[in-house]
Amino acid sequence: MSTRKALAAALALACSGAFAAGPNLGKPITPAEMAPWDISIPPDGAGLPLGGGTPAQGEKIFAQKCAACHGENARGGRNATLVGGDKIVNMDSTRTIANFWPYATTVFDYIRRAMPWPQPRSLTDNEVYALTAYILSENKLIGPDDSMNSETLPKVRMPNRDGFILRFPEKIQ
Amino acid sequence: MARTRPSQRRTDDLIPAAANGLVDRRAFLRGGAALAAVTGYALAKPAAAEPLKDDPWSRVPGETVGTYGLPSRYEKKVARTLSNPNGEPRTQHARTPHHLLNGTFTPNGLHFVISHAGNPDIDPERHKLVIHGLVKRPLVFTLDALERYPMVSRMTFVECGGNSAPLFAHDPIQATVQALHGLSSCAEWTGVPLSTLLEETGIEAKAKWMIAEGADAPALSRSVPLKKGLDDAMIALYQNGERLMPGNGYPMRLLLPGWEGNMNVKYLRRIKLVDEPAMSYYEARTYAPILPNGKAYRFYFVNEVKSFITHPSFGHLLRGPGLYEISGLAWSGNGRIAKVLVSADGGSSWAQAALQDPVLPKAFTRFRALWRWDGGPAVLQSRAWDEAGNVQPTRAQIVAERGQSARTPPVTAFVSQHYNGPTSWAVDAKGEVKHVYA
């Protein structure tokens, strides 16, 4: 290839946006290989796993794996209560799942990635669904027999969903 | 208690700049006589009035030089304060001792740390960074691979969104600048621009956000606008020239200059490009300051323009009237510091402080001012402007917009976030420094 042709080819490659600045040492990875780490669950529930769980199932798991820190029946212990909470009025208000968290998916996402504190990501997806159902039920955000799964969880309407103001909208778009 | 002594030199040629003893900043620029007349902030005891002699350490060979240097054993008090020294199952905070440091960059061992479940012990050879989601080519990078990419260095601060939260308390809490503002530090970070890696993966048109996630126990994750990712975000590998400290994200962290510390995800293992934010725990629940009407701010990305005086400050003692240097730190997540004013009368009159070079965007800037203390009461305060035209609000303005606590909680509590108002230090006739609201 002549120098001019090589330069033109390099320029075309650079302009295509691919392979431009770096030495291209990233290795391809497939969604299947990625799956164990791909755990973020947004408000629309995209990526929620198969399975499900009920408040009754969650109550048993909670007593066994969560109550040591969050107290009997999730009413608070060494760490935060997960039930109740007065209406948010100002910065002295205590933020709880019921009075503050805007999306139920965050409950599932956070339990699955970070709990229980000494053994994160040791729960099965069914256990996470059941614990989520238990906490939402104790807060009367769902009925006592409602099962949580990929269909039902994103539909749970949290009371404070519209309680937020974007601080810097111009930084997003 | 640290002590400072006034200069004994003649200072008649210094020009007053504001009431209660503030001297014109051009004294710094003139150099020579005026500058030499100032001792600055001195912790040393006065020289003894007796003949000089060799002390014992001057008459024997010293210690063998070690492989990794540590400060003098006389500097043990220059240390971080810990909120959870026994590692109980909750968050740990380690705060930077700004009142015992000078200059602008934070030594790595004193950089603030917030750790939600301890520092992970990551083997750098096994750590991976994956970029996936709305990209054309999902890719995984090892640390070895990233080492071969073109790198950049930039000096920038990292500040917790909850830094300075004690100033929301109803009454001024008597605490050091370390306790009040120690969750902010500044370092030279070196690494690979994120935009370089995103060029390699390609970006789908629908992508608007990226979810960054760590390899720590809670897999801490935050949503970041892709716009910031393509602007000045970096995969940081080095901190002040050496590999990141374990508390600061070893072996790699996302660096988002000027943005809320928690978003600068440590132990970075995954970036997923998405069309909507994840609303993860820390953005949905924690870093959402509540306003007086019961609504809360969402995505308070930017650490806005802030300054405070570090010398003198609570815990320092002034030993008699005379000339002192006032110095402190200023920064803005919106760019360079443009101007800092200081007051010695609680904000009634102001003098312009000298800004010490280099004045870098989104980095600590050291300001200095000369002050002739007459031995009477004084209230010292600073106020900063950034190059984007933002000014540090008064405390009254913050309270009007954001509210304040009806209580005076413990100094370690986080009643709200993103306080960037002034800090005021009252000096009394004994030379003691107290925290006041002014």
pLDDT digits (tens, 9 = 90+) for B89-104: 999 999 999 999 999 9
Q: Is residue A2 in some structural domain?
A: no
pLDDT of residue A109: 98
pLDDT at B346 over 90: yes
Q: What share of chain A has pLDDT > 70, as a percent?
A: 88
pLDDT at A27 over 90: yes
Q: Is residue A33 in some structural domain?
A: no
pLDDT at B41 over 70: no
**Which of the two residues, B253 and A3, has the higher pLDDT score?**
B253
Contact B202 A18 (CB under 8 A): yes
The pLDDT-based confidence of B33 (bands split at 50, 70, 90) is: very low
Q: Is residue A12 in some structural domain?
A: no
The answer to whether the CB of B238 falls within 8 A of the CB of B231 is no
The pLDDT tens digits for B228-251 are: 999 999 999 999 999 999 999 999
pLDDT at B184 over 90: yes
Closest by Cβ to B138, choosing from A21, A29, A89: A29
B322-347 mean pLDDT: 98
| B190, B196, B224, B230, B244 from B233: Cα distances, Å | 11, 10, 10, 7, 16
Q: What range defines the domain where residue A65 resides? A: 48-164
Overall domain count for chain A? 1
The crossing angle, in degrees rounded to 10, of helices A125-138 and A104-114 is 130
Strand ranges (E), B84-151: 92-95, 113-115, 128-133, 139-142
Q: Is residue A145 in some structural domain?
A: yes
Identify residue B122 by its one-letter amino acid code: I
- Tokens 């994200």 correspond to what residue? B249
The pLDDT-based confidence of B50 (bands split at 50, 70, 90) is: confident
**Which of the two residues, B6 and B294, has the higher pLDDT score?**
B294
Chain A CB within 8 Å of residue B400 CB: no
pLDDT of residue B134: 98
Q: Please report the domains of chain B, with CATH numbers, ordered by start residue.
A: 128-286 (3.90.420.10), 306-436 (2.60.40.650)
Task: Burial-class residue B21 by CB neighbours within 10 Å (0-12, 13-18, 19+).
Answer: buried
- CA pair distance B254, B208, nearest whole angstrom: 17
The pLDDT tens digits for B205-220 are: 999 999 999 999 999 9
pLDDT of residue B163: 98
- State the Rg of chain A over Cα: 23
**By C-alpha distance, which of B368, B278, B370, B358 is closest to B20?**
B370
The length of chain A is: 173
pLDDT at B302 over 50: yes
Domain containing residue A76: CATH number: 1.10.760.10
Residue of A nearest to B290 (CA): A91
**Considering only residues 324 to 363 of chain B, which have any Cβ-Cβ distance to chain A shorter than 8 Å?**
none
Q: Is residue A126 in some structural domain?
A: yes
A111-127 mean pLDDT: 97
The pLDDT-based confidence of B11 (bands split at 50, 70, 90) is: low
pLDDT of residue B306: 98
The answer to whether the CB of B229 falls within 8 A of the CB of B286 is no
Q: Is residue A26 in some structural domain?
A: no
B49 Cβ neighbours under 8 A, 6+ residues apart: none
**Which of the two residues, B429 and A5, has the higher pLDDT score?**
B429
- What residues in A contact B137, CB-CB < 8 Å? 18, 26, 28
The answer to whether the CB of B135 falls within 8 A of the CB of B384 is no
B329-350 mean pLDDT: 98
Neighbours of A24 (CB within 10 A): 15
Give the helix ranges, DSSP H, for A16-103: 31-34, 55-65, 67-70
Tokens of B236: 């940081």
**Considering only residues 9 to 48 of chain A, which have any Cβ-Cβ distance to chain B shorter than 8 Å?**
17-31, 34, 37-44
B29-49 mean pLDDT: 48
Q: Is residue A65 in some structural domain?
A: yes
pLDDT of residue B32: 43
Strand ranges (E), chain A: 27-28, 52-53, 148-149, 164-166
* 3-state class (DSSP) for residue A100: coil
The pLDDT-based confidence of A1 (bands split at 50, 70, 90) is: very low
The answer to whether the CB of A172 falls within 8 A of the CB of B299 is yes
Contact A21 B280 (CB under 8 A): no
Prediction pTM value = 0.92
pLDDT of residue A57: 98
pLDDT at A3 over 60: no
Contact A120 B117 (CB under 8 A): yes
Q: What share of chain A has pLDDT > 90, as a percent?
A: 86
pLDDT at B194 over 80: yes
Q: Is residue A3 in some structural domain?
A: no
Chain A CB within 8 Å of residue B295 CB: yes
- What residues in B contact A117, CB-CB < 8 Å? 89, 117, 217
Neighbours of B91 (CB within 10 A): 14
Neighbours of A22 (CB within 10 A): 20
